[in-house]
Structure 1
């Protein structure tokens, strides 16, 4: 079983994806981290972030099972990842590996911005998790403050709106709702309520498949 979860930044899709994977006994992949891993490898090697051939070579060395979320969450790595993510050869190579990961038994939950539309268009379940920019900014501000960060709500909100615009208008694999995705708005839901709603959606899809 493959579950594809897409949505904008700070919508709660990552937390939900991890919980769904644990609940249904599936593997989990944060596809955004795969771009960060390639970017980090390029930086460590001293290669240019515009060197598409070098970046494609790095893709082959990325171990999806060994990615360090803490190290890859650094701001500099995120900025570098946004640069290599627009390189067509890098996207093609990573999508191939992400798809192969998803198809290994018993299946997987993948989250990102183009899972249901590009990476796993035939996923059994497609969720598009969203929330208002204001709700997402509040969550992200609280999350960063809990880690000792000193960001303001207004700065986070402005950054999220910029990211939303960039993600939805980019030429390659823009953020979009797949035609057969189920929209899950978490604006007024806490993580437990959102998770229960997602489980119900997956269970319904499994029952429908079994009847078919």
Structure 2
């Protein structure tokens, strides 16, 4: 199956570089390019790509608002968004994750990381760099008012809470399995139950939720 990709970045050189790397892969295909958030939304609605590779800060409509319109809460037919950014744009990345992005990469990451990231989010996974994720969410979660209603301790079992804390620490399913001495398949079942019970889409939202509710700090 070929994964269709839309690249949105206001820097033509980066856009072209991404497109060249992606199109060279037999399982990936560039279906469009654009340079601002408004164009990204229009093209995504028209082309329906499997993944939008989205810059965060752009003139003429930024990537955060575009992500919210494509993948945010309440969107009837959401599009998967992979955000790309630099280290000095932490706040923008955090807001993009809250807006519904399935993950993020740094622009100076090796090409293999970009390709792996596209494949990961296209298959329904979430792409998180553990160190950066903890720094981002830990830094900005205090600004976000905890959601109203029942918290995680009212909904999840003790074991599910333990798994959620490990997810928030950036651990993969395999790493969680080792930590808890269970099989990866068992962890996958726990993760699915956690997302369903909390009404979350993916691991990115689970991380943000854990910090917002004070489960981890």
After TM superposition, the score normalised by the length of structure 2 is 0.31
Q: Larger relative CO (CA 8 A, sep 6+): 1 or 2? A: 1
Bigger fraction of residues in helix: 1
Q: Please, what TM-score do these two structures have when normalized by structure 1?
A: 0.32
